[in-house]
Amino acid sequence: MKWLTYIEYVLVIVAMAGMSIITFGNVLSRYFFDTSFAFAEEITINLFVLATFIGASIAIKRQAHFRFQFLYEKMRGSFKRMMLLTTSALMLFFLLLTLLFGLELVMNQFERGRMTPALNIPQWLFTLSIPVGSLFCMIRTVESTLLSWKGMNRNKSHQWSNIESKSKELEG
């Protein structure tokens, strides 16, 4: 999954750099010329949505999302496996709903020919970040679940560092 990691990092870097440059330029424009870029808010909001979804995918890979680690570590055997599968299934269900509703929104915007107000770009291009980000999160959830399951079968602790090293093994 090295290619997915590369795509995630490139997308987050581009989104964050774009937001920073546009916002900084807009601040300078307001300060020196007493006017702002008409497109600044439009672009930065959409880049923020992209960075949020892709950042969530990266966090799933690193197991950096909030969870009840104390309770989870106290569980043993089949109950621990059941909890892993249950939480993973719930995450996948939620992400699938987000993917499907995101695709529906994209299709509605595409069919209606909806354009962004300032730049007159098709809105569906920006909205694609919702289903794409959801798909990335789904892939990372499955990957994380499989790595955790394998860690349980080997009777090893599956803290973040072990999962991260196993993820690197799969990528290399």
Report d(CA 138, CA 128) in Å as an integer: 16
Instruction: Give residue 68's pLDDT.
Output: 64
Does a structural domain hold residue 172? no
Does a structural domain hold residue 115? yes
CA angle at 65 for the pair 63 and 67, rounded to the nearest 5° = 100
Does a structural domain hold residue 63? yes
Domain range for 78 is: 2-167
46 phi and psi, to 5 degrees? -70, -35
Indicate whether this model's pTM tops 0.85.
no
Q: Could you give the number of structural domains in the chain?
A: 1
* Sequential pLDDT tens for the chain (172 residues): 789 999 999 999 999 999 999 999 999 999 999 988 888 999 999 999 999 999 999 999 988 877 666 777 778 888 888 988 998 999 999 999 999 999 999 999 999 999 999 899 999 999 999 999 999 999 999 999 999 888 877 754 445 455 556 566 556 5
Does a structural domain hold residue 131? yes
DSSP for 73-114, please give it.
HH--HHHHHHHHHHHHHHHHHHHHHHHHHHHHHHHHHHHHT-
Instruction: Give residue 67's pLDDT.
Output: 67
DSSP for the chain, please give it.
-HHHHHHHHHHHHHHHHHHHHHHHHHHHHHHHHS---TTHHHHHHHHHHHHHHHHHHHHHHHT-S---HHHHHH--HHHHHHHHHHHHHHHHHHHHHHHHHHHHHHHHHHHHT-B-TTT--BHHHHHTHHHHHHHHHHHHHHHHHHHHHHHHHTT----HHHHHHHHHHHH-
